[in-house]
């Protein structure tokens, strides 16, 4: 191919990272279902293990099918490299791992996927890491939360569950001032709707389980590096700037430059944490990425129609879709995600918690599942499921109050979805 970066998104989502198989000519990327790769000779093996030559050693580290997906997602996000892993949650740990030491903290938005709130509130403490939760619409509070132990700022571009849009430019200015990377979870927006690196993100994480795969078949995650952060500007990031004892004193940043973070993610992160994506999962996700823009356009079109219909329905108290003129986040759509506000939002049912439970039970096309970003329309009552482990205050701060349900609008016929909501709302509020 000529300069790949000059192609449009619709071309790159099909071609980036993939070439016809040099041995067989296979046009589709094969599933390289292998654990190990034969070394040419002992010198070749030594060079690979010393990171002097790039190649395949063992599939916990790298695999040709997974490598195609890594290059594709990195290209779509405008990054220099990416590391795929076994799930979105794995990607979050993998993203923080090169940055954090015991005693360090990450400043995070209160508006996050429920599982992320739990991971950051409880589990990362076992590593000696701490998360400081802040309302990311309060820029002074974000600024005040950054201290000399802060090593990253973390938010979602289009935030779960309400579909709120984060002012990435304003947050990245604060991260810059603090001398730490901004990490953006771009799962709900996808690189088709939002490109966080263009708004100052150093790292982008994904649950590829969702829209990138798009059909609810496999779990996966990805960490994309912009290649733009100067890891040696301070002594805050010794894993990347200081000699690495496990590689004979090699300094990642000095040796690999813009690719330091990606190489560290593979050579240390995947090697020692083992949160590897398998080639079957990479195959399903590659299939998904080929139609990403087509699906996202339909998700947005359907979400807009349904949000407008719900907003005008007397059985509904309010709708949080940022695409609606009434949303306080509407002004950010043009700046952060100009192709649309995604397919995810919440709405409050008159009758509260009990009516929400009845609604979920009465729907026929919508599936009641803990997932999002499927071609199928999905619904969940967050307060009794994904956000169940949170306190009531945390639920409200996260946008998962007891009276709201979260929908992930699929690519079905919008009129069918509206008819389904109509009959279920009647039963829920009877």
Ligand X SMILES: *Cc1c(COP(=O)(O)O)cnc(C)c1O
Q: Which of 29, 62, 75, 116 touches ligand X (CB under 6 A)? A: 116
Report in angstroms how near the CB of residue 373 gets to ligand X at its nearest: 7
Residue 115 or 269: the one with the smaller Cβ distance to ligand X is: 115
Tokens of 413: 């016929």
Q: How far apart are CA 76 and CA 67, in angstroms?
A: 14
Residue 408 or 411: the one with the smaller Cβ distance to ligand X is: 408
Contact between 188 and ligand X by CB under 6 A: the answer reads yes
Q: Which of 341, 372, 409, 417 touches ligand X (CB under 6 A)? A: 372
Contact between 109 and ligand X by CB under 6 A: the answer reads no
Binding positions for ligand X, 77-96, rule CB under 6 A: 87-89
Q: Which residues contact 385 (CB under 8 A, 6 or more apart)?
A: 370
Report in angstroms how near the CB of residue 284 gets to ligand X at its nearest: 13
Residue 405 is inside which H or E element, if any?
strand 404-408
Q: Across-strand partners of 82?
A: 224
Total residue length of the chain: 430
Number of residues that bind ligand X (CB under 6 A): 17
Q: Across-strand partners of 380?
A: 406
Report in angstroms how near the CB of residue 154 gets to ligand X at its nearest: 11
Residue 115 or 288: the one with the smaller Cβ distance to ligand X is: 115
Q: How far apart are CA 227 and CA 202, in angstroms?
A: 7
Q: Which of 207, 262, 289, 382 touches ligand X (CB under 6 A)? A: 207
Contact between 113 and ligand X by CB under 6 A: the answer reads yes
Q: How many CA atoms lie within 13 A of 398 on its CB side?
A: 29
Q: Which of 150, 160, 172, 320 touches ligand X (CB under 6 A)? A: 160
Contact between 346 and ligand X by CB under 6 A: the answer reads no
Report in angstroms how near the CB of residue 217 gets to ligand X at its nearest: 12
Residue 156 or 420: the one with the smaller Cβ distance to ligand X is: 156
Q: What interhelical angle do 88-96 and 114-121 show, nearest 10?
A: 40
Report in angstroms how near the CB of residue 227 gets to ligand X at its nearest: 23
CA nearest 112: which of 219, 185, 204? 185
Contact between 17 and ligand X by CB under 6 A: the answer reads no
Contact between 219 and ligand X by CB under 6 A: the answer reads yes
CB atoms within 10 A of CB 257: 12
CB under 6 A: which stretch of 12-20, 129-137, 184-192, 304-312 binds ligand X?
184-192
Contact between 327 and ligand X by CB under 6 A: the answer reads no
Contact between 210 and ligand X by CB under 6 A: the answer reads yes
Q: How far apart are CA 271 and CA 158, in angstroms?
A: 32
Q: How far apart are CA 138 and CA 237, in angstroms?
A: 27
Q: Which of 17, 115, 191, 343 touches ligand X (CB under 6 A)? A: 115
Q: 311, exposed or middle or buried, with CB in 10 Å at 0-12, 13-18, 19+?
A: middle
For 389, the 3-state DSSP assignment is: coil
Q: Is the dihedral of CA 66, 184, 93, 377 positive or negative?
A: negative
Tokens of 171: 């947050």
CB under 6 A: which stretch of 15-23, 102-110, 180-188, 229-237 binds ligand X?
180-188
Report in angstroms how near the CB of residue 152 gets to ligand X at its nearest: 15
**Which residues of 272-359 form beta strands (DSSP E)?**
316-319, 344-349
Residues at the site binding ligand X, with contacts judged by CB under 6 A:
87-89, 113, 115-116, 156, 160, 185, 187-188, 207, 209-210, 219, 221, 372
């Amino acid at each position: 191919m000529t300069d790949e970066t000059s192609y449009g998104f619709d071309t790159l989502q099909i071609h980036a990272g993939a070439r016809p198989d040099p041995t067989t000519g296979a046009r589709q990327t094969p599933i390289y279902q292998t654990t190990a790769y034969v070394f040419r000779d002992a010198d070749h093996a030594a060079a690979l293990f010393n990171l002097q030559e790039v190649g395949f050693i063992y599939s916990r580290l790298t695999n040709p099918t997974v490598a195609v997906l890594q290059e594709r997602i990195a290209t779509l996000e405008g990054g220099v490299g990416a590391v795929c892993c076994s799930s979105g949650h794995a990607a979050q740990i993998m993203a923080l791992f090169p940055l954090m030491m015991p005693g360090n903290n990450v400043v995070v938005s209160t508006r996050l996927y429920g599982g992320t709130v739990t991971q950051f509130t409880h589990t990362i403490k076992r590593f000696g890491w701490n998360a400081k939760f802040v309302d990311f619409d309060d820029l002074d509070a974000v600024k005040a939360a950054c201290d000399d132990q802060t090593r990253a700022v973390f938010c979602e571009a289009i935030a779960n569950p309400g579909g709120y849009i984060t002012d990435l430019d304003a947050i990245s200015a604060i991260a810059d001032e603090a001398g730490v990377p901004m990490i953006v979870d771009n799962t709900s927006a996808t690189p088709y709707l939002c490109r966080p690196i263009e708004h100052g993100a150093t790292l982008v994480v994904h649950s590829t389980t969702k829209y990138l795969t798009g059909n609810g078949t496999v779990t996966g995650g990805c960490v994309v590096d912009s290649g733009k952060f100067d890891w040696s500007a301070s002594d805050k990031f010794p894993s990347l700037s200081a000699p690495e004892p496990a590689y004979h004193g090699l300094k990642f940043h000095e040796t690999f430059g813009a690719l330091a973070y990606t190489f560290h993610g593979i050579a240390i992160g995947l090697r020692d944490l083992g949160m590897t994506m398998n080639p079957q999962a990479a195959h399903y996700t590659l299939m998904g990425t080929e139609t990403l823009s087509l699906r996202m356009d339909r998700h947005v079109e359907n979400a807009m129609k349904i949000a407008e219909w719900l907003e005008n329905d007397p059985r509904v108290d309010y709708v949080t879709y940022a695409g609606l003129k009434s949303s306080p986040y509407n002004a950010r759509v043009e700046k952060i995600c100009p192709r649309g506000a995604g397919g995810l939002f919440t709405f409050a049912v008159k009758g509260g918690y009990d009516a929400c439970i009845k609604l979920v039970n009465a729907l026929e096309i919508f599936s009641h599942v803990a997932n999002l970003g499927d071609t199928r329309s999905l619904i969940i009552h967050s307060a009794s499921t994904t956000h169940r482990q949170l306190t009531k205050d945390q639920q409200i701060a996260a946008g998962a109050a007891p009276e709201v349900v979260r929908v992930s609008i699929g690519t079905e016929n919008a009129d069918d979805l509206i008819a389904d909501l109509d009959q279920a709302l009647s039963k829920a509020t009877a």
